[in-house]
Every structure is written in structure tokens, then in C-alpha cells.
Amino acid sequence: MRAAVLAVLVSALLTGCRRQEPRPLESGDSSAPGQQTSTATTPTAAPPGAVLFISADTRGYLGPCGCSENMRGGIGRAAFQVQQARKGGQPVHYIDGGNSLFGETHLKADQVPQEERKAKALADAFRTMGIAARATGELDDTRGAAFRQGLGLPEVPAGGVKVLDAGTRKVGVVAAASGEALVKASQQAREQGADFVVGLLDQPLEAAQAAAALPGLAANLVVATHSAGEFSAEENRLVRSDVPAVAVQSKGRSLLRVDLTYAPAKGPFTLQRSQGDVEREVAALEQRLALLDKEISHPGIDPKLKALKQGKRDELAARKQGFLTAPPAPATDVNGFALRFLPLESNLPTAPDAQALVKAYDADVGQLNLAWAKAHGQDCPLPAKGQAGFVGSAVCADCHPDATAVWERTKHHHGWETLEEVGKQHHLNCVGCHVTGWQKPGGVCRLDKVAGREAVGCESCHGPGSLHADAPSPATIVGKPGQAVCVTCHNAENSPHFDFATYLPRILGPGHGGTGKSGQAGEPPAK
């Protein structure tokens, strides 16, 4: 029966793949998903204008963690977009809004080597993108102003102005921490000859929206550069008004592209409020991509069907990219600007020079962290009197062999191996969800002492087991962990399609809270 259903699904999917759909007008086509190559025999001169790329709230991310399929982001993909646009013949400027170098305002001592090395890699990547200007925020000053300034990036101080040549026009970039300061700086940019002004406001979108309505504001666009919290900027957002306000998806997952089109004469810039069919097609493609992402991430999907759906997803993502990077209609008698978010999808190309910086970071950081742990690491404190500590899954197995047999057939059992396969077993951003009892009393606090605690063990879900081992009883252990335990790792970033009811059966079986075959269908462990 299962085979028959699969055959019907595959047949339907292949039929959908063969359907001819309208394509956008592009300056280049895609010979393979994400690869942009020109098919025109005679290059077409770009209309007068310029292109701005804006990032913000990157929060120290060089790329996605890789815990799920089709995760957006990556400084290499961002660099490719900027470098590719420079081949179009127009002036191109890359601007960073700040809050990009670090993800936290305070670091523990063991985090310092990794996070400083990462900030330097980000700064080097910005240089490969030809960064023209950047604002700063509190997440840039985690290691102090001297460290930030030592990176040598072209900063615009709070309340400051930088004017960039953009062909026959000038673009002003202003930075501010309040709406009132933004008004003043934008007026100064106009006085210095800026024709188009970008305001970088070190505040969340709601504050940027309020600033955009202030009297006297001389900016054409206000960018919110600091989201309220780690998971507060999961989507790109645009508030259309006389002065639009935008917030770019955080953690380097998207770029904002601003296309300026010049009329023969200088004058005010007008936002292109609608791009008609293009916006509708992009919205439809994003809905289809979201559905495919959910289906591809389903823990029980057949591998062959998953591969087919992934191929279709790559095709749709490449088509969406074509729409988003196609030049806007040339101006006639009006100076215009178009705003487009560029999600950095997983199938998009990466710039080799920027990606080399990421690889160098990956190679260095594990050695840095391990060396620090050996030289300065401290064992976790013992649990307080009467409180449980971690004992390791081997102790649990002595009394619970059936549950252990189920666990050994799940992906949880191989959590540490997944880090080793990608060389991230010594990355502090990753180990917390792949080691049992990380940074907890009686657990593991040193990278050089994880032996016996590797993987997502019994106590990762059921809590520390020392009291239960000494006095076995339902009262001394968490017998049935709830969703709240799971989402500490299966959160919106690492596991965006996590559904408790769907995932739970994958870790149950005889002797471990479930019936039927071990590990939900007794499948071999995924690696």
C-alpha cells in the first residue's frame, strides 16, 4: 500500500515539474539551480541608476548552523549577490547597518577566542564585498570600541553622515540611535549634496516606523538595524509610507536590495509602490517554497520522494531569484527606487573568496576552543545538596535496556557524530545541543572532557539522573518530557518545521513510551 501511494505522489510531482510556467524577464537565465549565466548574445546597457545592498542585525553569523535542510543565510551567498550585481555596469554599494559582529552583549571567558575570530572573519568578508559604509550598535561593541575600530571597517558614527558617489547622483548614509538624531543627520546629508538618503536606525522596526513619520526627516528610507531579541526578526518586513521603514531578516539570512533609477533631471525620488505581476509571482513562489520546506523536513519522508521535492524546490528558488534580481523598469521623467528583499536561499551560489574565509574560520575555531579548554577550562560545579546531577546514558542502560535499544536507533544517539562529520564538534555555538548536560551542574563544561556524554542522551530529555539512579522512582526523574524540553534545541532557528506530535513518535518504541517497532519503524540511524 505504501509503495502504491508513493508511486502516485511521484507521478503527480513529475507531472507538476513538466508544466510550463511563465518566466520572468531576466538579464541572465539559470542553467542550473542558483547558477546565473547570461544567455544574451549582445549585452544590454544598464539604464542610468545604482544598486544598494543593505544588511543589518547579522548577530555574528557567518552562515546557518546547518541543523535543518534549506536553511537561509551565509556571508558567501551575500557576497555573491553583491559581486554579481557589479557586473551589470551600474554603481553598486554595499552598506551594513550594524549589530553584526557579535550575537551577545557579554561573553563568557571560554567564548572569547571563538567570537573574536568570527568577528574578524565577518570583517574580512565585508571587505571582499567592497563595503562602503557601516553603522554600529551594541552588538558590535561586545569586545569594546577599540576591538571594533581595529577591524578597519568604514564606520559611520552615531549621528554621522557619509556621502557616496552613485553615478550621476549621490547617496547619503546616516546613522542614528534615535528618531530625533536621524532627522538631524538626514538634513545634514542633504546639505552635503545627497540626492537619496538611507537612514540606519539602531532600533527595532516599530521605532523606525515612528521615526519615518517625524517632521523634518530628509531620508528616503529608514532601516531598522537592531531587532528586539534573538528571534524577533524571523521575517523581512516592509512598512510602506511616504518614507518606507524596513527590517531585514536577522542573522544574515537576507539582504535588502535598493534599485535606484535616474530620470534625465535631478529631483525627488519616488518609491515604486507596486511591481504588479512580479510581486504576485514572487509571493506565490514563496508560498510553494514554504510548503515544500515543510514536506522535505518531515522526519518520515521517503528518501526518493524527498530528493524529487528538493529538486523542485531548487528550481522554484532559482526562478524566484531571477525575479528578485531582474532590473526594474527604467525611469522616464521620475527618479525612482524599488525595494526588494533577497532571501539567501540554500541553493544560491557562494563567492569563493568569502567562502574561503568561512572555511578558514571553521578550521581555526575548533583548535582555538580546544586549546582554551585545556589551558583554562573548569569542570562544572557539583549539584547543590539534594539536587540531581548528570550520570551519563551508560548508567541509565543498566536498568533500562529496552529504552536504550530504542534510543540507539534514533538520531538523538548520533547527535555528536553529525558534528564530527562537518568538523564542528568543538564549536561552542553547536555543542550545547549535541552533548548531554552541557554547562549544567554535574554535567560537561569543558570541550576536552565530553567523553561519555556525547550525543543527545537520556538525561537531555529526562533531566539529570543521579537521584533516580540512587533511588529509582517516578518521583526522581521526568518520566514524560513535554514539548518545552524539546524546543530548547528544536527552536525556530535550528528546527523551523518542528512539530511535537509529528516528531515525538520517532523517538518512542517498546520500553520507551511507545508501541510498534523500535525508533518508529526501526529505521537505520540517519547520518
Tell me what pLDDT residue 47 has: 67
For the segment 334-352, what is each residue's pLDDT rounded down to a tens digit?
A: 999 999 999 999 999 999 9
Tell me what pLDDT residue 520 has: 43
Comparing CA positions, the residue from 360, 260, 321, 341 lying closest to residue 84 is 321
DSSP annotation of 235 reads S
Q: Is 454 exposed, middle or buried (0-12, 13-18, 19+ CB in 10 A)?
A: buried
Tell me what pLDDT residue 6 has: 44
Tell me what pLDDT residue 22 has: 37
Tell me what pLDDT residue 23 has: 38
Tell me what pLDDT residue 45 has: 56
d(CA 282, CA 298): 25
Q: How far is CA 356 from CA 29, 87, 501, in A?
A: 26, 21, 41
β-pairing, 169-176 vs 161-166, is antiparallel
Residue 171, SS3 per DSSP: strand
Tell me what pLDDT residue 274 has: 61
Q: Which residues of the chain have pLDDT under 70?
A: 1-47, 273-276, 331, 515-527
Tell me how crowded residue 178 is: count the other CB atoms within 10 A of its CB: 15
Residue 31, SS3 per DSSP: strand
Tell me how crowded residue 416 is: count the other CB atoms within 10 A of its CB: 19
Domains of the chain in start order, with CATH, are: 49-274+329-343 (3.60.21.10), 284-327 (no CATH), 377-507 (1.10.1130.10)
Assess contact for 435 and 387: CB atoms under 8 A.
Answer: no
Tell me what pLDDT residue 175 has: 98
